[in-house]
Amino acid sequence: MGVRFWVGGGLLLIALGLLIANGLRSASQYYLTVSELRARAESLQGRPIRLSGIVDGGTIRYDPETFHVEFGLVERVADIGKAPPLKVVYKGVKPDLLQNEAQAIVEGTLGPDGVFYAQNLLLKCPTRYEEEAAKGSR
Protein backbone atom coordinates (compact mmCIF):
# COMPACT_ATOMS: atom_id res chain seq x y z
CA MET A 1 0.00 0.00 0.00
CA GLY A 2 2.83 2.44 0.72
CA VAL A 3 4.30 2.10 -2.79
CA ARG A 4 0.91 2.70 -4.44
CA PHE A 5 0.39 5.77 -2.30
CA TRP A 6 3.75 7.29 -3.28
CA VAL A 7 3.36 6.45 -6.99
CA GLY A 8 -0.19 7.86 -7.08
CA GLY A 9 0.85 10.94 -5.15
CA GLY A 10 3.83 11.48 -7.47
CA LEU A 11 1.64 11.21 -10.56
CA LEU A 12 -0.82 13.71 -9.08
CA LEU A 13 1.97 16.17 -8.36
CA ILE A 14 3.35 15.84 -11.89
CA ALA A 15 -0.11 16.38 -13.40
CA LEU A 16 -0.73 19.37 -11.14
CA GLY A 17 2.64 20.86 -12.05
CA LEU A 18 1.93 20.49 -15.78
CA LEU A 19 -1.48 22.13 -15.39
CA ILE A 20 0.00 25.06 -13.47
CA ALA A 21 2.83 25.53 -15.98
CA ASN A 22 0.41 25.46 -18.92
CA GLY A 23 -1.93 27.94 -17.21
CA LEU A 24 0.90 30.35 -16.42
CA ARG A 25 2.19 30.19 -19.97
CA SER A 26 -1.19 31.11 -21.48
CA ALA A 27 -1.94 33.75 -18.82
CA SER A 28 1.41 35.45 -19.27
CA GLN A 29 0.79 36.20 -22.95
CA TYR A 30 1.73 39.84 -23.32
CA TYR A 31 0.67 42.15 -26.10
CA LEU A 32 2.65 43.57 -28.98
CA THR A 33 2.57 47.15 -30.21
CA VAL A 34 1.79 47.99 -33.83
CA SER A 35 5.46 48.64 -34.64
CA GLU A 36 6.57 45.38 -32.98
CA LEU A 37 4.01 43.44 -35.00
CA ARG A 38 5.11 45.07 -38.24
CA ALA A 39 8.78 44.33 -37.47
CA ARG A 40 8.02 40.64 -36.86
CA ALA A 41 5.09 40.25 -39.27
CA GLU A 42 6.52 37.43 -41.36
CA SER A 43 7.29 35.19 -38.37
CA LEU A 44 3.97 35.94 -36.64
CA GLN A 45 1.57 35.29 -39.52
CA GLY A 46 -1.18 32.87 -38.53
CA ARG A 47 -0.10 32.70 -34.88
CA PRO A 48 -2.32 33.91 -32.01
CA ILE A 49 -1.38 37.46 -31.10
CA ARG A 50 -2.52 40.08 -28.59
CA LEU A 51 -2.01 43.55 -30.03
CA SER A 52 -2.31 46.98 -28.42
CA GLY A 53 -2.87 50.28 -30.17
CA ILE A 54 -4.92 53.44 -30.60
CA VAL A 55 -7.98 53.49 -32.89
CA ASP A 56 -7.77 55.88 -35.85
CA GLY A 57 -11.37 57.10 -35.98
CA GLY A 58 -11.20 58.06 -39.64
CA THR A 59 -10.74 54.41 -40.60
CA ILE A 60 -13.77 52.92 -38.81
CA ARG A 61 -16.17 51.10 -41.15
CA TYR A 62 -19.18 49.02 -40.06
CA ASP A 63 -21.77 47.04 -42.00
CA PRO A 64 -24.69 46.28 -39.64
CA GLU A 65 -26.13 43.67 -42.01
CA THR A 66 -23.00 41.49 -42.07
CA PHE A 67 -21.53 42.62 -38.71
CA HIS A 68 -18.28 43.40 -40.52
CA VAL A 69 -16.13 45.90 -38.60
CA GLU A 70 -12.92 47.42 -39.95
CA PHE A 71 -10.66 50.01 -38.37
CA GLY A 72 -7.04 51.03 -38.20
CA LEU A 73 -4.68 50.89 -35.23
CA VAL A 74 -1.71 53.16 -34.70
CA GLU A 75 0.95 53.12 -32.02
CA ARG A 76 0.21 56.47 -30.35
CA VAL A 77 -2.43 59.21 -30.54
CA ALA A 78 0.18 61.46 -32.20
CA ASP A 79 0.42 58.93 -35.07
CA ILE A 80 -3.21 59.42 -36.15
CA GLY A 81 -3.19 60.91 -39.63
CA LYS A 82 0.61 60.65 -39.86
CA ALA A 83 1.55 56.97 -39.69
CA PRO A 84 -0.25 54.36 -41.81
CA PRO A 85 -2.66 52.46 -39.58
CA LEU A 86 -2.67 48.68 -39.32
CA LYS A 87 -5.97 47.41 -40.73
CA VAL A 88 -8.02 45.34 -38.27
CA VAL A 89 -11.05 43.27 -39.29
CA TYR A 90 -13.52 42.08 -36.66
CA LYS A 91 -16.75 40.10 -37.12
CA GLY A 92 -19.39 41.14 -34.60
CA VAL A 93 -21.51 43.99 -33.37
CA LYS A 94 -19.66 47.31 -33.40
CA PRO A 95 -18.80 48.21 -29.79
CA ASP A 96 -19.97 51.61 -28.56
CA LEU A 97 -16.44 52.42 -27.42
CA LEU A 98 -14.99 51.92 -30.91
CA GLN A 99 -14.20 55.56 -31.60
CA ASN A 100 -11.32 57.86 -32.40
CA GLU A 101 -8.36 57.62 -29.99
CA ALA A 102 -9.83 54.69 -28.04
CA GLN A 103 -7.23 52.39 -26.56
CA ALA A 104 -7.64 48.90 -28.01
CA ILE A 105 -6.33 45.45 -27.31
CA VAL A 106 -7.21 42.99 -30.04
CA GLU A 107 -6.62 39.26 -30.01
CA GLY A 108 -6.40 37.35 -33.25
CA THR A 109 -4.07 36.53 -36.12
CA LEU A 110 -2.14 38.42 -38.76
CA GLY A 111 -3.06 37.31 -42.27
CA PRO A 112 -0.65 37.00 -45.20
CA ASP A 113 -2.37 40.09 -46.64
CA GLY A 114 -1.08 42.19 -43.70
CA VAL A 115 -4.56 42.51 -42.17
CA PHE A 116 -5.09 41.68 -38.50
CA TYR A 117 -8.13 39.40 -38.07
CA ALA A 118 -9.45 39.91 -34.54
CA GLN A 119 -11.50 37.36 -32.63
CA ASN A 120 -11.64 39.47 -29.45
CA LEU A 121 -11.76 43.22 -29.10
CA LEU A 122 -11.21 45.12 -25.83
CA LEU A 123 -11.64 48.89 -25.83
CA LYS A 124 -11.15 51.73 -23.39
CA CYS A 125 -12.11 55.29 -24.17
CA PRO A 126 -9.68 57.40 -22.13
CA THR A 127 -11.70 60.62 -22.25
CA ARG A 128 -14.79 58.91 -20.85
CA TYR A 129 -12.91 57.49 -17.87
CA GLU A 130 -11.04 60.73 -17.25
CA GLU A 131 -14.34 62.66 -17.19
CA GLU A 132 -15.86 60.15 -14.73
CA ALA A 133 -12.78 60.33 -12.50
CA ALA A 134 -12.92 64.14 -12.51
CA LYS A 135 -16.61 64.10 -11.52
CA GLY A 136 -15.91 61.61 -8.72
CA SER A 137 -13.08 63.68 -7.26
CA ARG A 138 -15.23 66.77 -6.71
Residue 138 pLDDT > 50 = no
What kind and span of H or E run contains 27? helix 2-27
102-129 pLDDT, tens per residue? Answer: 999 999 999 999 999 999 999 987 655 4
The DSSP letter of residue 92 is S
User: pTM value?
Assistant: 0.72
Closest CA to 48 of 70, 66, 25, 67: 25
Query: Strands 103-110 and 116-124, how do they pair?
Result: antiparallel
Beta strands in 27-76 (DSSP E): 32-33, 49-63, 68-74
> What residues are paired with 33 via a beta bridge?
52
